Amino acid sequence: MGFKHRTTGMASIHSLPVELMDSILQNLDRKDIKTCMLVCHAWLSWAERIFHSRPRITSAQSMERFIQFAKAKGIGGSVRHLHIVGKINYSSMDPTPWILEAPARLGPVTPNVLSLHFQNVEGVAFTEMFWV
């Protein structure tokens, strides 16, 4: 039993509405989305957009790589949820200043972000200027 197409009987995945495909892919974890990217060219563009809609930035280097990739591929507008992850063993003796720079650096590249999630940033000294 499958999705019936009016004229040919069975429908292919390519005849599904984009919204339905997006809804399906958004419920997958990152590993499964990566697998979908390998299925075929048609799935690559859908899965790639969903995969990059919620990046995890874990260092200054990963932030720079993401910025370059987003500009080159034009996927920055697809980002909806941005995750900034600090060091698990954070200490005030070992600062992570890139976390304070992340919103200002990533904002212009990701104009459609709906949520910004910080993890492992308990020791980061956020100032009032950070939120402006």
pLDDT confidence tier of residue 6, bands split at 50, 70 and 90: low
Residue with tokens 């698990």: 88
pLDDT of residue 111: 94
pLDDT digits (tens, 9 = 90+) for 74-115: 889 989 899 998 876 655 555 577 888 888 899 999 999 999
DSSP tag of 72: H
pLDDT confidence tier of residue 37, bands split at 50, 70 and 90: confident
Distance CA 126, CA 66 (A): 23
Query: Is the distance from CB of 46 to CB of 19 less than 8 angstroms?
Result: no
